[in-house]
C-alpha cells in the first residue's frame, strides 16, 4: 500500500517486452522509446520523487531478466521498491505483457498508471480489469505530475485533467487536457534514467502530430513544433554528456514546418563543424519531398544520412483504389532523387491493404509478390520493411473492418499478434490470410538472403583498390560503405527472418486461425 509518510517516493516507468522475437527486436535492443523517458524526466524533477525507466527490450547492461521474458520485477522490487509504476501502452502488441506486469504490481500493493495509443475508449474497461488504477489520456508529462502530487497527499483526483479511473465500479473520465504547445519549458529528456539499457541509437524529436490523417495511423492532429534550437540542444546535450553519435528523429514526417526544418539542418551542420565530428541521423519523410531539393541539400549537409519512406504499395491499381495520387513510375523517379543526393533509403510497404467494399480490384498473391519484387529492385532500395495491415485501436481502419465483421476475435487472435507480422483480419479476395502472411515474408526473404555473407568479405578485399581507383577518396569511401553496409544488413536481416520463422512455427498461429475463420464474414 502507498505510504504517504515516506520522505521520498519512487516512480518506475516500464516499457513492456515484445510478446516474442520479431523484426523490431534487434533495433529495440539498441534504443528505447522516447515518450517514457519524457514522463520519467518530468517526475524526476519533482521535489519528493525519484524516477527510473526499465525498457524490457533493452536490458544489455546487467539487466535482471526473468525466466520467461522481460525483466525480473520480483528482484527489482526487492532491491528498489516502487511506490507507483507507469506502464507504457504505445505498442498494442505488448499489451498482454503490460497487463501481466500491472497485475503483479497491483498484487504487491503498488499503484499502477498507464497510457499510450492503445487505450481508447473500447479498451479501458479491459485495462481496469487487468490491474490498472489510472489511465492517462493524451500526453503525459503534465498529467503524471499532478496525479502523483494528488496520490502523495491523498487528495481527490477528479480535478486532474486527462485521466480515467474507477470509482465504485463506475468509470470516471475527467475533461481532456490541452495539448502541449510550449515545448521549450519542458526539461531535456534524461536518458540516464533508463536503467540497464545500452543505447546506441538515440531518439529525438521536434514535432509532435501529423496532418496526413491516414486511415491506418493513430497519430492525428495539427503538427506542433518546438523551435529548431530546442532539437539542436537535445542533440548537443546527448553528444556532450553521453558521447552519442547516432540519432533517430522520431517526428512522423520530417520536413513539416519547412523553413524551420531547413534552419535546424544548417544549425546542426554548423554544430558538427564546430566540434569536428560527424554525427549520423535517420529521419522519416514523405516521398514527394524529393521535389524540394533545397530541403534535401540542407539535410545532407546536416548528416541526415538515411530516410525512411512509406511507399505503401507499388501496384498501380491498388494505389488508385487507395486514392493515392501517384503511380509507380513517378515513385521511381522521386526515389531516384534521394539516391542522387546520397541518402540511404529504407522503404516501408503495407502488403494486402483492405480496400473499400465499393472498389473492385482482384490480384493473386503470386502476381502481387512479383510486382513488389520488381519495384524494390528498380527503386534500388537499401533496406525494406513489408508489413501486414494492422487495424489498431482508435483508427478508422479498425472501425471500417469491424463494421464489415472482418476482424478475427481477440479471444483467439490476441493483442500480441498486432505487430504487423500476422494476419488478424479477413483479407480481400482472392487473398487468404495464409497467403497474405506468406507473401509478405516471401518479399522480405527475397531481399534479405544468406549469400550476402560472402559479399561482405569481397567488399573488404576490394576496398583499397576501389577508393584509390576513383581518385576522389571521399566519394570512393561513400560508394564502398553503401555496398558494404547494405550487404551486412541484408545478411543480418536473413538471420532475423530465420529466427522469426522458427518462433512462428512453434507458435502454431495458423492452427488458431482455423478456429476463428468461420466467425467472420467472407471477404469480397
State the sign of the Cα–Cα–Cα–Cα dihedral 496, 499, 501, 507.
Answer: negative
- Alpha carbon distance 439, 351 (integer Å): 8
Angle between helix 258-275 and 293-301 (nearest 10):
20
Asked if omega into 430 is within 30° of 0 (cis), the reply is yes
Query: Do 134 and 164 meet the contact criterion of CB atoms below 8 Å apart?
Result: yes
Among 162, 16, 187, 180, smallest CA distance to 99 is for 16
Task: Give me the pLDDT at residue 316, please.
Answer: 86
| pLDDT confidence tier of residue 465, bands split at 50, 70 and 90 | low
Question: pLDDT tens-digit profile of 263-308?
Answer: 999 999 999 999 999 999 999 999 999 999 999 999 999 999 999 9
**Residue 41: how many other CB atoms lie within 10 Å:** 21
Tell which CATH classification among 3.50.50.60, 2.60.40.1180, 3.30.70.1710, 3.40.50.280 matches the domain 9-173.
3.40.50.280
Write out the three cell numbers for 277: 565530428
Q: Which residue has the higher pLDDT, 23 or 399?
A: 399
CA 352: distance to chain centroid? 21
Given a contact cutoff of 8 angstroms between Cβ atoms, the answer to whether 428 and 361 are in contact is yes
CA distances from 297 to 94, 183, 238, 300, 305 (A): 39, 27, 25, 5, 11
pLDDT at 220 over 90: no
Return d(Cα 310, Cα 346) in angstroms, integer. 9
What integer pLDDT is reported at residue 521 of this predicted model? Answer: 56
Mean pLDDT taken over the chain? 91
pLDDT at res. 523: 42
Rounded to the nearest 5°, which phi and psi values hold at 505? Answer: -65, -35
Give 340's contacts (C-beta < 8 A, 6+ positions apart).
none
Beta strands in 65-149 (DSSP E): 84-88, 111-115, 134-136
Q: SS3 breakdown of the chain: % helix, strand, coil, rounded to 5? A: 45, 15, 40
Number of neighbours of residue 480 by Cβ within 10 angstroms: 19
524 pLDDT higher than 70: no
pLDDT in tens, 365-403: 999 999 999 999 999 999 999 999 999 999 999 999 999
pLDDT of 472 over the 70 cut: no
CATH 3.40.50.280 domain span(s) along the chain: 9-173
Return the C-alpha cell found at 118: 492503445
The pLDDT assigned to 37 comes to 98
Amino acid at each position: 500500500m502507498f505510504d504517504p509518510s515516506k520522505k521520498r517516493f519512487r516512480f518506475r516507468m516500464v516499457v513492456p517486452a515484445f510478446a516474442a522475437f520479431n523484426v523490431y527486436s534487434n533495433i529495440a535492443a539498441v534504443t528505447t522509446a522516447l515518450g517514457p523517458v519524457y514522463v520519467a524526466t518530468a517526475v524526476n524533477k519533482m521535489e519528493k520523487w525519484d524516477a527510473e525507466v526499465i525498457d524490457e527490450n533493452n536490458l544489455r547492461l546487467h539487466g535482471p531478466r526473468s525466466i520467461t521474458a522481460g525483466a525480473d520485477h520480483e528482484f527489482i522490487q526487492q532491491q528498489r521498491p516502487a511506490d507507483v509504476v507507469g506502464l507504457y501502452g504505445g505498442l498494442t502488441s505488448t499489451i498482454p505483457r503490460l497487463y501481466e506486469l500491472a497485475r503483479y504490481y497491483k498484487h504487491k500493493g503498488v499503484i499502477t498508471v498507464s497510457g499510450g495509443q492503445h487505450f481508447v475508449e473500447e479498451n479501458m474497461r479491459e485495462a481496469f480489469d487487468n490491474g490498472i488504477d489510472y489511465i492517462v489520456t493524451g500526453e503525459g508529462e503534465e498529467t503524471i505530475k499532478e496525479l502523483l502530487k494528488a496520490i502523495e497527499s491523498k487528495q481527490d483526483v477528479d480535478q486532474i485533467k486527462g485521466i480515467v479511473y474507477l470509482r465504485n465500479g463506475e468509470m470516471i473520465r475527467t475533461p481532456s487536457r490541452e495539448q502541449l504547445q510550449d515545448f521549450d519549458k519542458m526539461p531535456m529528456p534524461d536518458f540516464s534514467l533508463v536503467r540497464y539499457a545500452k543505447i546506441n541509437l538515440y531518439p529525438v524529436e521536434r514535432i509532435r502530430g501529423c496532418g496526413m490523417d491516414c486511415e491506418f495511423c493513430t497519430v492525428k492532429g495539427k503538427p506542433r513544433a518546438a523551435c529548431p534550437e530546442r532539437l539542436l540542444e537535445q542533440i548537443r546535450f546527448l553528444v556532450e554528456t553521453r558521447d552519442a553519435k547516432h540519432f533517430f528523429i522520431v517526428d512522423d514526417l520530417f520536413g513539416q514546418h519547412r523553413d524551420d526544418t531547413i534552419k535546424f539542418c544548417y544549425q546542426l551542420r554548423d554544430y558538427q563543424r564546430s566540434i569536428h565530428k560527424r554525427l549520423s541521423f535517420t529521419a522519416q519523410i514523405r516521398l514527394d519531398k524529393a521535389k524540394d531539393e533545397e530541403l534535401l541539400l540542407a539535410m545532407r549537409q546536416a548528416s541526415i544520412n538515411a530516410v525512411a519512406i512509406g511507399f505503401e504499395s507499388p501496384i498501380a491499381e491498388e494505389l488508385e483504389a487507395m486514392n493515392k495520387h501517384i503511380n509507380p513510375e513517378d515513385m521511381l523517379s522521386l526515389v531516384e532523387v534521394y539516391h542522387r543526393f546520397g541518402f540511404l533509403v529504407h522503404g516501408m510497404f503495407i502488403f494486402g491493404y483492405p480496400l473499400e467494399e465499393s472498389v473492385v480490384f482482384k490480384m493473386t498473391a503470386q502476381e502481387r509478390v512479383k510486382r513488389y519484387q520488381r519495384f524494390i529492385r528498380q527503386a534500388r532500395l537499401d533496406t525494406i520493411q513489408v508489413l501486414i495491415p494492422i487495424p489498431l485501436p482508435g483508427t478508422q481502419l479498425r472501425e471500417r473492418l469491424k463494421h464489415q465483421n472482418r476482424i478475427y476475435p481477440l479471444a483467439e487472435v490476441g493483442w500480441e499478434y498486432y505487430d504487423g507480422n500476422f494476419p488478424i483480419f479477413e483479407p480481400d479476395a482472392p487473398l487468404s490470410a495464409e497467403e497474405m502472411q506468406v507473401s509478405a515474408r516471401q518479399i522480405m526473404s527475397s531481399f534479405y538472403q544468406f549469400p550476402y555473407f560472402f559479399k561482405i568479405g569481397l567488399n573488404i578485399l576490394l576496398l583499397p583498390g576501389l577508393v584509390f581507383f576513383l581518385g576522389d577518396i571521399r566519394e570512393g569511401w561513400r560508394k564502398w560503405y553503401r555496398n558494404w553496409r547494405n550487404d551486412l544488413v541484408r545478411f543480418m536481416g536473413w538471420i532475423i527472418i530465420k529466427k522469426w520463422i522458427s518462433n512462428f512455427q512453434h507458435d502454431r498461429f495458423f492452427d488458431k486461425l482455423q478456429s476463428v475463420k468461420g466467425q467472420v464474414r467472407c471477404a469480397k
